[in-house]
Structure 1
Amino acid sequence: MKQTTYDQLLEAAMNVIRREGFDKASVSRFVKEAGVAQGTFYNYFASKNELVPAIAARILDEQLARMQARGDAETLETLVETMIDVTFTITEEFRDYISFCYSGISMYYSFERWDEIYRPYYDWLESQFSKLQRAGRITTELELKAAVNNTVGLIEHAAEAHYLSRAVTEDRTTAEAELKRMLVRALTI
């Protein structure tokens, strides 16, 4: 599949940011790495700061695509296991950008923008939960939107504690198993 100019610019910017840091990186370095003219950058991004939500969206799009590629889960256990595995893997792969995205979103954008970026993921998970709820595999006592938001937040926190803050000392397999056990119990009570 041919890469679009937007994708070229975003990938180039991510590479430059990873090497130089956001503050030292410049638009001229992004376009040089992408092999496009300086003005081309501004056809896609109003400023360098616009890269923050674009990178966050790229990470979440990749995360959701990997989850969807595994297909609809027939059981809650399978769904939770998929979400945990993919989230831990994405967090490990994109750890250079995740903290940057959090700080950049909070500095330059409202949390409504963050919610826009997460919306496709939340909608997908709500449809998965709804299907499992109709099949009697998730409790009907929970409000689905809250359950979705809390589940995503808990899984991401666990992955970030493991890879970003190193607050967790257990190995990945143990951390994932404990998280899965807790979420399945909470969602089936």
Structure 2
Amino acid sequence: MNSKQEEKYRRIIEASIEIIAAKGLDKTSISDIVKRAGIAQGTFYLYFSSKNALIPAIAEHLLQQLFDKITERTRVSGSFWNTLQSVIDVTFEVTEAYKEVLILCYSGLAFYHSFEKWESIYLPYYEWFEFELKKAIEKGEVIKDIPTETNIRMIVNVIEQAAEGLYFSNDKERKYSTEQIKKDVYVFIKRALT
């Protein structure tokens, strides 16, 4: 795609996220999306065949936002443990901000697409985090001889499950604060790696 096409694609995705978050997928029309994006309806169909076809692109966009925020915060983190804390904080922030859209993405990708699509979306994030873990092993911050690839997937899953459990739940009488849950996740992962 050239830069003009990329801009239109981005506007469609961002408009879709805003409208779907507010109205839900069923009540969102393509007309709503194109109006918010400031494009012609025919332009939408150059990029997507339907509303449902947006779901993987939305998921990829949200994960890219998560990854961008994490890498920005960890640019000068100093240690793996500061990086881990940033990953936890940003994951909780993004999950809270986009919980309705994330629920839609999970259900939509599970229904319309294979698990391999999730893996391809997550691959750059996993690779970056694995590189960070390998650096931590070299520095002696983390125990040696751990399988980094599988451990990174487990670490990401633990963090996401904790955030989703907190924000996707309808439990208004939470026993623990957000900060306590984030602290518990951090301590759990740190104990597993040291």
Percent of matched pairs sharing the same residue: 37
1:108-147 alignment runs, 5 A limit? 108-147=112-151
Q: Is the 8 A contact 2:70 2:90 kept in 1?
A: yes
1:100 is the counterpart of 2:104: yes
1:51-81 deviations in Å (ceiling 9; x for gaps): 1111111111111111111215432321211
| Structure 1 stretches of 4+ moved >4 Å | none
Q: Is the 8 A contact 1:73 1:128 kept in 2?
A: no
Bigger Cα displacement from structure 2, 164-173 vs 22-31? 164-173
Q: Within 2, Cα distance between the matches of 1:86 and 1:63?
A: 7
- Corresponding residue for residue 61 of structure 1: 64
Gaps of 5+ in 2: none
1:184 is the counterpart of 2:187: no
Q: Is the 8 A contact 1:74 1:132 kept in 2?
A: no
Gaps of 5+ in 1: none
Given the two structures, how large is their TM-score scaled by the length of structure 1? 0.92
Q: Within 1, Cα distance between the matches of 2:100 and 2:140?
A: 40
1:94-131 deviations in Å (ceiling 9; x for gaps): 11211111000001100100111111110110110011
- Corresponding residue for residue 43 of structure 1: 46
- Corresponding residue for residue 37 of structure 2: 34
- Corresponding residue for residue 75 of structure 1: 79
Q: Within 2, Cα distance between the matches of 1:157 and 1:95?
A: 13
Given the two structures, how large is their TM-score scaled by the length of structure 2? 0.90
Q: Within 2, Cα distance between the matches of 1:114 and 1:138?
A: 28
CA RMSD of aligned residues (A): 1.7
Q: Within 1, Cα distance between the matches of 2:99 and 2:69?
A: 17
Bigger Cα displacement from structure 2, 23-32 vs 85-94? 23-32
Q: Is the 8 A contact 1:91 1:159 kept in 2?
A: yes
Q: Is the 8 A contact 1:76 1:184 kept in 2?
A: no
Q: Is the 8 A contact 2:34 2:41 kept in 1?
A: yes
Number of residues of Structure 1 aligned to a counterpart in Structure 2:
187
1:36-64 deviations in Å (ceiling 9; x for gaps): 11110012223221211111111111111
1:159 is the counterpart of 2:156: no
Bigger Cα displacement from structure 2, 9-18 vs 164-173? 164-173
